[in-house]
């Protein structure tokens, strides 16, 4: 990622110079335009015969000189920008290796079946991004047939997301109400957050929406036990409606980042109901490759320098483990054999010294006086020596 940062710094310099060049060009051109307009106004007001020709001639000569100097100055500065642009290209050549065939398996896409999988992954990614016409063109050109049952959920998802970006909550609310039971099974707060955001939009309309806001507050009744504190804050803000919520202690309710947050929550929960990951497999694979490729190139370079050609002979295998970060960790669900509960981020699986795996909650319950006896061996051990695992 350091290579990307180097190129990004050079690119930011170029963009900054472009912006500065644009501002300076506008200022100089506006100044010249004012000078020309003044001379034109003098000619119109007094006429050529009544005006002092010598003074007018001097003004026009000075104006022409300023125009010439400005053109030369702008051309010179534009030439300097070309130098900065070329530095970006040199930074790319310096930090990235264009030849990556040394770490790529040549036969990875050599069968029609694999090419079909790749095309389907690209089409699914395009559907997720709402680029429906591009996806249809790709299907026609590649011969990939996508079932309508796979396409329809993405059409609905993108329709609702587009409405949310336009700050229209009605399609999302209708979807949430129709899928209420399934969302409750996911322990989702999406429906409440949508009602909350709609209530806030009524508050932002001022005192004229007071009765509408009070009537809409009835939608909070099913969520009173789970979101009592949030509902109290919303109802308390009605006291300041006459003076404006933006001038009250409840001004945080009007923060604009709530719309981006509700889009993310909807995408996450909708994908969960569809049995899909939030990010498309293509984007995850691409991001993983961007992180892994520089490491693989460095390893290949070291192997060639030390003439260890037999170390890495199979390109479908990695010579070392590459850490892609927790975001790219995917593992099966583990159920604790002691408590009969599925593990989670707050209650992860723990590996004991003896090799048996239990949940952290079970580990804490089995610990007595700083010691733990494995329920399977039973081997006595220190619970602090247990390690969290991922699989």
pLDDT digits over 34-44, tens only?
A: 888 887 887 77
Q: For tokens 């909070």, name the residue.
A: 220
Task: State residue 372's pLDDT score.
Answer: 87
The Cα–Cα gap between 195 and 141 comes to 44
The Cα–Cα gap between 55 and 308 comes to 84
pLDDT digits over 193-202, tens only?
A: 999 999 988 8
Name, in order, each residue with C-beta under 8 angstroms of 89's C-beta and a sequence gap of 6 or more.
none
What is the torsional sign of CA 154, 181, 226, 244? positive
Task: State residue 173's pLDDT score.
Answer: 92
pLDDT mean over 379-390: 85
Task: State residue 319's pLDDT score.
Answer: 67
The pLDDT of residue 56 is above 60: yes
Q: For tokens 């004012």, name the residue.
A: 34
pLDDT mean over 51-69: 77
pLDDT digits over 203-234, tens only?
A: 888 888 888 888 988 888 888 888 888 889 88
Q: What share of the chain is helix, strand, coil (3-state, %, to 5)?
A: 65, 5, 30
Q: Find out whether 254 and 204 touch, Cβ atoms under 8 Å.
A: yes
The Cα–Cα gap between 230 and 347 comes to 27
The pLDDT of residue 49 is above 60: no
Task: State residue 53's pLDDT score.
Answer: 67
Domain locations in the chain as residue ranges? 1-95, 151-274, 279-306, 335-388
What tokens does 221 get?
């009744």
pLDDT digits over 13-39, tens only?
A: 888 888 888 888 888 888 888 888 887
Task: State residue 174's pLDDT score.
Answer: 92
pLDDT mean over 54-77: 82
Identify which has the larger pLDDT, 59 or 381. 381
Identify which has the larger pLDDT, 247 or 49. 247
- pTM as predicted: 0.56
Task: State residue 310's pLDDT score.
Answer: 62
| Best-predicted range by mean pLDDT (102-106, 266-270, 377-381) | 266-270
Task: State residue 88's pLDDT score.
Answer: 82
Work out the percent of the chain whose per-residue pLDDT is above 90: 4
pLDDT digits over 166-192, tens only?
A: 989 999 999 999 988 888 888 888 999
The pLDDT of residue 354 is above 70: yes
Task: State residue 172's pLDDT score.
Answer: 92
CATH number, span 335-388: 3.30.40.10
pLDDT category at 118 given cuts 50, 70, 90 is confident
Task: State residue 87's pLDDT score.
Answer: 82
The pLDDT of residue 257 is above 70: yes
What tokens does 370 get?
């700083």
Please provide the average confidence, as pLDDT, over all residues in the chain: 82
The pLDDT of residue 54 is above 60: yes
Work out the percent of the chain whose per-residue pLDDT is above 70: 92
Q: Where are the alpha helices (DSSP H) in the chain?
A: 2-50, 53-95, 112-128, 132-142, 148-165, 170-178, 180-185, 190-203, 210-216, 228-236, 257-274, 281-305, 360-366
- Summary count for the chain: helices (H), strands (E): 13, 5
**E strand or H helix at 59:** helix 53-95
- 87, 71, 81: which is closest to 18 by C-alpha? 81
The pLDDT of residue 8 is above 70: yes
What tokens does 73 get?
């100055």
Q: Find out whether 92 and 86 touch, Cβ atoms under 8 Å.
A: no
pLDDT mean over 41-61: 69
The Cα–Cα gap between 92 and 298 comes to 17
The pLDDT of residue 348 is above 80: yes
Task: State residue 317's pLDDT score.
Answer: 63
Task: State residue 183's pLDDT score.
Answer: 87
């Amino acid at each position: 990622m350091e290579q990307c940062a180097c190129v990004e710094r050079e690119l930011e310099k170029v963009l900054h110079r472009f912006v500065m060049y644009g501002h300076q060009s506008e200022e100089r051109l506006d100044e010249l335009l004012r000078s020309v307009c003044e001379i034109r106004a003098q000619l119109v007001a007094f006429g050529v015969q009544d005006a002092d020709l010598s003074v007018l001639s001097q003004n026009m000569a000075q104006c022409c000189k300023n125009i010439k100097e400005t053109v030369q100055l702008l051309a010179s500065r534009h030439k300097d920008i070309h130098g900065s642009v070329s530095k970006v290209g040199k930074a790319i050549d310096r930090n990235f290796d264009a030849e990556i065939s040394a770490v790529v398996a040549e036969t990875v896409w050599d069968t029609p079946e694999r090419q079909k999988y790749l095309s389907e992954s690209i089409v699914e990614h395009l559907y997720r991004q709402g680029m429906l016409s591009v996806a249809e063109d790709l299907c026609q050109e590649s011969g990939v047939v996508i079932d309508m049952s796979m396409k329809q959920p993405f059409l609905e998802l993108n329709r609702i997301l587009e409405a949310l970006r336009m700050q229209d909550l009605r399609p999302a609310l209708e979807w949430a109400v129709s899928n209420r039971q399934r969302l409750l099974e996911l322990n989702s707060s999406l429906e409440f957050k949508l009602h909350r955001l709609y209530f806030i939009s009524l508050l932002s309309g001022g005192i004229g929406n007071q009765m509408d806001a009070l009537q809409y507050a009835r939608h909070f009744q099913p969520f009173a036990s789970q979101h009592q504190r949030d509902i109290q804050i919303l109802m308390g803000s009605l006291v300041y409606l006459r003076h404006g919520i933006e001038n009250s202690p409840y001004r945080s309710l009007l923060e604009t980042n709530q719309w981006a947050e509700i889009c993310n929550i909807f995408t996450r929960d909708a994908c969960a109901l569809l049995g899909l990951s939030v990010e498309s497999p293509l984007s995850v694979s691409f991001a993983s490759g961007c992180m892994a490729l520089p490491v693989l190139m460095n390893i290949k370079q070291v192997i060639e320098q030390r003439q260890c050609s037999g170390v890495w002979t199979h390109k479908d295998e990695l010579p070392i483990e590459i850490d892609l970060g927790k975001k790219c960790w995917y593992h099966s669900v583990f159920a604790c054999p002691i408590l009969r509960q599925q593990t989670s981020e707050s209650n992860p699986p723990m590996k004991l010294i003896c090799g048996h795996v239990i949940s952290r909650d079970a580990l804490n319950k089995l610990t007595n006086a700083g010691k733990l006896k494995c329920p399977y061996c039973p081997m006595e051990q220190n619970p602090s020596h247990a390690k969290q695992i991922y699989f």
